[in-house]
Amino acid sequence: MNPILVALDVASADRAVALADALRGAVGGFKIGKQLFTAAGPAMVRELTSRGDRVFLDLKFHDIPNTVAGAVQSAVSTGAWMVNVHASGGSAMMKAAAESARKTADQLGQARPLVIAVTVLTSMDDQALREVGVGRTMIDQVVALSKLTKASGLDGVVASPKEVTAIRAACGPDFQIVTPGIRPADQEGKDDQARTLTPAEAIAAGSTYLVIGRPITGAPVPREAAERIAASL
């Protein structure tokens, strides 16, 4: 499978559908995050899944276990291919998410979505961790949360490409690693990402999927940008 998941971080369903139509076949799927989901709701997920697209529903659930289980149940009903929670919600919350995904998919007679957990947001660095009371280094915190995620029965994690090699060593070859913070070699600046690699570097390090937004969606011809990145892999 093409590992590129395009972040549809846009403000309207019309813009999202136009991008998806332009990129379909050149990428592996699409990510719907908080901006688009808040604007267009579950119907946006269903619109793309009805067209055969793989949708990563990136809402980063983080709440008490029962609430997260209910949210995952609703997410599964949209046909999402992948959903996520925050690993910092703890093992009880993650186990509830995994069980809800399995049970709901069985009830609906559909494939269970991948359930993954966010380790540390890619906009953060060691200083930002200290600000929120985390004494571990970035790499130690990410690896610890990745191990907790695996032990809780989830399929993988979201982490910056800088930590992929360490996660792969700690969690094995079958653990899914989804990496935002991907910036092509010819792009200047990192936007709001603090820990980045190029697409080829991230795949070489062991990433399973690459979440790429502005380098594709902000390009003059998004499909050409996607195809150029895919060719670099």
| Active-site residue, from 31, 34, 60, 95 | 60
User: Tokens 């060719």 identify what position?
Assistant: 231
Taking only the tens place, the pLDDT of each residue in 120-130 is 998 899 999 99
pLDDT confidence of residue 184: 76
Percent with pLDDT over 90 in the chain: 89
Q: Kindly give the residue spans of alpha helices, DSSP state H, lying in 32-125.
A: 34-40, 42-50, 65-77, 91-108
Q: Provide φ and ψ at 117, rounded to 5°.
A: -130, 140
pLDDT greater than 70 at residue 5: yes
Please choose, from the candidates 217, 216, 218, the residue with its C-alpha nearest in 3D space to the C-alpha of residue 226.
216
CA distance 72 to 143: 24
The tokens describing 141, both together, are 């915190």
**How many independent structural domains does the chain possess?**
1
- Cβ-contact 75, 83 below 8 angstroms: yes
Taking only the tens place, the pLDDT of each residue in 153-179 is 999 999 998 899 999 999 999 999 999
Question: Is 0.75 topped by the overall pTM?
Answer: yes
CA geometry: angle 27, 201, 182, nearest 5 deg: 55
Taking only the tens place, the pLDDT of each residue in 59-108 is 999 999 999 999 999 999 999 999 999 999 999 999 999 999 999 999 99
Domain range for 69 is: 4-232
CA distance 126 to 148: 20
| CATH code for the domain of 181 | 3.20.20.70
pLDDT confidence of residue 193: 46
Concatenated DSSP letters of 176-187: EEEE--B--TT-
Cα separations (Å) of 108 from 35, 86, 111, 160, 170?
28, 25, 9, 33, 34
pLDDT confidence of residue 122: 87
Our answer to whether residue 95 is catalytic in this structure is no
pLDDT confidence of residue 182: 83
